[in-house]
Amino acid sequence: MSKNASRGDGPRTVPNPYAGHPDYRCFGCDPDNPTGLKLEFAIEGRRVISHWQPRADLEGYPGVTHGGILATLADEVAAWYIHAVLGTAGMTRELSVTYHAPALAEEGPFRVEAAAVEEGPKSALIEVTISGRSGTLFCTARCSFAVFSEAVARRRLDFPGREAFRPVD
């Protein structure tokens, strides 16, 4: 365990409680989806962070990650913010992405970071940044979510409960 992790101020890994479930095929975070992004997450304070290595099969122009993939990365890390920080589940209402620079694959791994702009009992607005290894900002996204109570999320979405997303050092 890192010195920062033991104090609670360094990144802590968020477990994926869905991994291994026979009906789980998420394109964003299923570690066993052969075509998926296989994202893993960490929490640092009230931010959720992921690192993703670009792949040639997900490029638009040669050497440039497709903008739709960047939007998917943003949506996924924002959803995990709802899980890991708010302790429930939600669904995307609206996703707006502003692209700032080409997402060059040579800049991988990309840093994908989510933080809340607004949080309420039934909605959340999450801002996401995606940047390259050198710090180049590729895009920012604003993700509006409908947020469900934990009881509704458990009943309707098979949400395993807030404790299943408790970070580990």
pLDDT in tens, 46-87: 999 999 999 999 999 999 999 999 999 999 999 999 999 999
Please give the torsion angle defined by the CA atoms of residues 156, 164, 96 and 146, in that order, rounded to the nearest 10 degrees.
30
Looking at domain 3-165, its CATH architecture is Roll (3.10)
| Model pLDDT, residue 8 | 56
| Helix, strand or coil, per DSSP, at residue 95 | strand
Phi, psi of 46 (to 5 degrees): -110, 35
Give the domain ranges of the chain: 3-165
The DSSP call for residue 164 is G
The CA-based dihedral angle spanning residues 102, 105, 108, 111, taken in that order and rounded to the nearest 10 degrees: 40
Mean residue pLDDT across the chain: 94
Strands 41-44 and 47-52: antiparallel
pTM as predicted? 0.93
